[in-house]
Amino acid sequence: MARWGGRARPAMQVPGPSVREAASMYGTAVAVFLVILVAALQGSAPAESPFPFHIPLDPEGTLELSWNVSYVQETVYFQLLVRELKAGVLFGMSDRGELENADLVVLWTDRDGAYFGDAWSDQKGQVHLDSQQDYQLLRAQRTPEGLYLLFKRPFGTCDPNDYLIEDGTVHLVYGLLEEPLQSLEAINTSSLHTGLQRVQLLKPNISQPALPVDTHTMEIRAPDVLIPGQVTTYWCHITELPDGFPRHHIVMYEPIVTEGNEALVHHMEVFQCAAEVESVPHFSGPCDSKMKPERLNYCRHVLAAWALGAKAFYYPEEAGLAFGGPGSSRFLRLEVHYHNPLVIRGRRDSSGIRLYYTAALRRFDAGIMELGLAYTPVMAIPPQETAFVLTGYCTDKCTQLALPPSGIHIFASQLHTHLTGRKVVTVLARDGREREIVNRDSHYSPHFQEIRMLKKVVSVHPGDVLITSCTYNTEDRRLATVGGFGILEEMCVNYVHYYPQTQLELCKSAADPGFLRKYFHLVNRFNSEEVCTCPQASVPEQFASVPWNSFSRDVLKALYGFAPISVHCNKSSAVRFQGEWNRQPLPEIVSRLEEPTPHCPASRAQSPAGPTVLSIGGGKG
């Protein structure tokens, strides 16, 4: 029986010879070829290159993933550390973190040996060997810490059963094999210890600007928090800037995570309180505590945000985020999200964020602008929808009025919806043509909202249109989900970070309420007067009484794609720019950006046709 001994041995080079499980007409030729190939690859693979990104996969820290991205090769290099290997491990990716329909690599053992193979799970969780081996093992190495597996995967494989690695959130999944198996096909993911971890796999490859010489640091931490023995805790902690702290620019910030708690600290944000609030009590406790002072609700201006897997956040060298000085609150709120699925008790934590700031103000103030849908029940999602799309517009008229002639430069973005959000994208259009993606997350999760640096700064000029679309899943809802602030209502927002700062704080839209009234009327006409269209009924009440059939659903979609819009082109959330903003024409888009077709890896002809035999510990127990 194959086992890995606990004792350290020198690093061993793998793979050895290849075997094909499937019958092959050209088995010998392929095997010969594979050996040549592996030799070639071992020469060319960046085996010694560092892995700049790290994340624990499971809450116990048994599995630790490091990775690096080659944009030239369109390939991700993974290094998986398995600390206490029993009979094997599954690792992979799936649409939303489910273990069914997942794209997997499996390290497994039978009574004779150990194998590494590219596999996939079907919709029942049954694991199958992939006919095309796209995960390629580069090295396996035993160390005192555990087994290191080094392997690579192209972003796209052109295998329709494979996961396409895209920008935005990737749901990593894992599973642990406790016992050796007769074959790979004996695995069903439903019977394993499994889990998921969300991460931005394709981190941007941007150089970090040098920090100014007079950079100071400030740690915003909640000291010595006893992490509550519950799955989810949002911890709120108030600190304040020194009295008379003058205006500075934040130029960088980075997480400080207490050692040992890496798998528990899920995300952290630093908010500045509103200048109008004179003083804020020094509260430190769960954000949903009944003891929490009311005034903490006025601390919502984001200064810094970090989420699991993210590294330091650098402002572009021409810009910094202003804080301190007159007209700005001295009070800061740190919010730490502890994710404690194993309900570990007694763990103490002092995590937080370290701000790097300078008094030598940079050329530009950075700003944050809110794009997407206005918070109004006019925008609603019928129940039982798997992928309903709502779209908000920042119109040419608003950008014409509010942006400087030289435009603004968006360098980072944070996407936001409530619980039913599944995808978010913002596209820039000019002269009726979509030009570029500002930010897109096709595997968006409301539980993983990080500020992301854009791979490429997007410049927005007066007259440009910014179109933000969110896709929602309301399969678990019985009634329509309307837009609004409540957690059971929905939002569609992209907070874009840009410079130079302008007066435009919010550029969003919603369908014209008059057209929605026409909609309720026509649904009524087609459905024998079931809908209450009496004028005293509120929009949520009217939505609640719509009989949801294919016609009322399709016509609502058609309405949102046709009705004129109310545009919110605001200096602050209350003050609109001057002009007529009601019943504005929906921006007309005559040409859409094409979906990028994944490049089929050129090296496809060189991938092995079956699993790889590992030469460590096989058959010697």
List contacts with a second copy (CB under 8 A).
22, 24-26, 29-30, 32-33, 36-37, 40, 44, 131-132, 158-161, 515, 518, 521-522, 525-526, 549-551, 554-555, 557-559, 561-563, 597-598, 600, 602-609
Query: What is the distance between the alpha carbons of residues 418 and 197, in angstroms, rounded to a whole number?
Result: 19
Of 256 and 555, nearer to a second copy (C-beta) is 555
User: Could you say which of 339, 416, 447, 461 is catalytic?
Assistant: 416
Please give the angle made by the CA atoms of 423, 429 and 430, to the nearest 5 degrees.
175
234 catalytic, yes or no? yes
Of 141 and 584, nearer to a second copy (C-beta) is 584
Query: What is the distance between the alpha carbons of residues 99 and 183, in angstroms, rounded to a whole number?
Result: 19
Q: Cα 269 to the chain's mean position, in Å?
A: 15
Q: Cα 552 to the chain's mean position, in Å?
A: 33
Please state the closest distance from residue 589 (CB atom) to a second copy, in A: 11
Query: What is the distance between the alpha carbons of residues 520 and 333, in angstroms, rounded to a whole number?
Result: 43
Query: How many CB atoms are closer than 10 A to CB 619?
Result: 12
Please state the closest distance from residue 43 (CB atom) to a second copy, in A: 10
Of 26 and 71, nearer to a second copy (C-beta) is 26
Query: What is the distance between the alpha carbons of residues 593 and 290, in angstroms, rounded to a whole number?
Result: 49
Mapping DSSP to helix (H, G, I), strand (E, B) and coil, where does residue 478 land?
Answer: coil
Please state the closest distance from residue 435 (CB atom) to a second copy, in A: 19
Mapping DSSP to helix (H, G, I), strand (E, B) and coil, where does residue 491 land?
Answer: coil
User: Which helix (H) or strand (E) is 612 found in, with range?
Assistant: strand 612-614
**CB neighbour list of residue 198: distance below 8 Å, 6 or more residues apart:** 97, 169, 170, 171, 172, 308, 309, 445, 447, 448
Contact 219, 256 (CB under 8 A): yes
Of 259 and 595, nearer to a second copy (C-beta) is 595
Please state the closest distance from residue 37 (CB atom) to a second copy, in A: 6
Unique residue bearing structure tokens 């981190």: 203
Of 58 and 159, nearer to a second copy (C-beta) is 159
Mapping DSSP to helix (H, G, I), strand (E, B) and coil, where does residue 597 land?
Answer: coil
Query: What is the distance between the alpha carbons of residues 352 and 357, in angstroms, rounded to a whole number?
Result: 16
Please state the closest distance from residue 133 (CB atom) to a second copy, in A: 9
Instruction: Describe the strand order of the beta sheet including 433-441 as a list of residue ranges.
Output: 388-394, 465-472, 421-430, 433-441
Half-sphere exposure of 109 (CA within 13 A, CB side): 25
Please state the closest distance from residue 552 (CB atom) to a second copy, in A: 9
Half-sphere exposure of 132 (CA within 13 A, CB side): 18
User: Could you say which of 54, 128, 148, 234 is catalytic?
Assistant: 234
Please state the closest distance from residue 442 (CB atom) to a second copy, in A: 17
**Dihedral angle computed from the Cα positions of residues 498, 166, 115 and 21, in that order, rounded to the nearest 10 degrees:** -170
* Helix 513-526 and helix 550-560, axial crossing angle in degrees, nearest 10: 160
User: Which helix (H) or strand (E) is 541 found in, with range?
Assistant: helix 539-544
Across 580-612, b (16+ Cβ under 10 Å) vs e yields ebeebebbeeeeeeeeeebeebeeeeebbbbbb
Please state the closest distance from residue 30 (CB atom) to a second copy, in A: 7
Of 188 and 606, nearer to a second copy (C-beta) is 606
499 catalytic, yes or no? no
Please state the closest distance from residue 105 (CB atom) to a second copy, in A: 18
Q: Which DSSP state fits 260? A: T
Catalytic residue numbers?
234, 416
